[in-house]
Amino acid sequence: MAQVLEFKLPDLGEGLTEAEIVRWLVEVGDVVAIDQPVVEVETAKAMVEVPCPYGGVVTARFGEEGTELPVGAPLLTVAVGAAEGSSGSAASPSSPSSASSSLSSPSPSSGSGTESSGGSGNVLVGYGTGAPAARRRRIRPDRLDRGVAEAPVSVAPVVAAPVAEVLVAEAPVHEGPVPVVSPLVRRLARQHDIDLRRLAGSGPDGLILRADVDRAIRTVEETAAATARVQAPVAAVVAAPNGVAAASDAERIPLRGVRGAVADKLSRSRTEIPDATCWVDADATELMAVRAAMNAATGPSAGPKVSVLALLARICTAALARFPELNATVDTAAREIVRLPGVHLGFAAQTERGLVVPVVRDAHTRNAESIGAEIARLTELARTGKLSPAQLTGGTFTLNNYGVFGVDGSTPIINHPEAAMLGVGRIMPKPWVHQGELAVRQVVQLSLTFDHRVCDGGTAGGFLRYVADCVEQPAVLLRTL
């Protein structure tokens, strides 16, 4: 007898509470192996493939692509053992081991997620059993019906329209799997926004039939038509939540995923951190000359190309060694400033998914070449959307090179809960007094936004001045090499 197990969206770590379904990797009726990725989700940190800890036949999926689900919400249901004995296409009678390789044995106690002993208990790709994913096989609906006839199959919950909620309010709300077997019935209900949990089935043991869904659809349509006749026309302009008039055809974009995480973090930074900004123009001509010399070196001294961002990052780690007050965070609950022993340097990167801040771990132990290689590696992962949550968290100081956008200056918002951020504008030729004469030099504007709780202006000014001195005279760095 088949056992239907429910797999819920697992805790993906880093304090994440929800995820958006980006792409389903399986269909209803597919056979999945233990730890096979079944869905690709986008969290506030990264894109993650979620593997299923059960092996069996997928009987239902919860949520369409683009739906945001909280942690702990059902993702899908799997009929464990549904294909055994029902068809030669699932397993050969003479080779029972082939069936056990793709379908796990049911646990005596039915449960959800990782509680069943029939599953691996693993929820993240790369941390599973290591067995290769079995080839997906499609089970014909009639075979699936016979295989799970004795076990009700869950259906993806669909939020019903307000009218439908009123019409079926008398019916008890099903808790757990909904008694529906036919995929056609489920599809029909989804297409018409019918919540199957609120329908009372007329079939054996309360089984929901197509006639039940058709009847609910007709009732909803008739009631909606009657309501439309008596309702007054909707005004062309509606009041927005903040009281500002908004056109009825205005586009509304949900703040979720990366965009929502950025909004939350920036709002929290502005709310909690009393920040201040100071800036200075610096002559970067010598720094650019040093970089050109490094990259032009040949023979034993040759190496990978060094970027301007890598040099600036190395300057930042040297400055933080002199001014550790800025490599800190504030524990508001304990009312304490926490100075951090190591520098985990974040750098802002603009991607198609939005702004992300990958983190170079232990930047204080790296030279410019090592920092540059790590920045290049993380940038490529960010471009392809493959950064893990761990690679986007834990920073202690952020470097923001907004000069790539062709702007000179900015007042950066601190990346909460850090205490400071260095902003770098574009490097461009400008008139500059050099050695008492007017000359055209490569000039850059540097800006430092800092948490005024961790230090005063003298410390922040000293940090920024040291950075500017290293930009103007790179030989200053030789003291710390």
Residues known to be catalytic: 452, 456
Residues in the chain, total: 481
**Alpha-carbon distance 64 to 354, whole Å?**
23
- The first and second tokens of residue 357, run together, are 């801040």
**How many whole angstroms separate alpha carbon 110 and alpha carbon 123?**
18
The SS3 assignment for 74 reads strand
CB 204 within 8 A of CB 180: no
Cα of 452 vs its chain's centroid, Å: 31
Sequence-distant (6+) residues with CB within 8 A of 127 are none
Q: Tell me if residue 437 falls in helix, strand or coil.
A: strand
> What is the token pair recorded at 421?
């951020």
Q: Is there a contact between 272 and 416 (Cβ–Cβ < 8 Å)?
A: yes
Scan for tokens 């949900």, then name that residue: 254
Q: Hey, which residues does 245 pair with through a beta bridge?
A: 239
CA distances from 166 to 104, 169, 231 (A): 42, 5, 17
Rounded to 10°, the helix 308-322/285-296 angle is 120
Q: Is 219 helix (H, G, I), strand (E, B) or coil?
A: helix
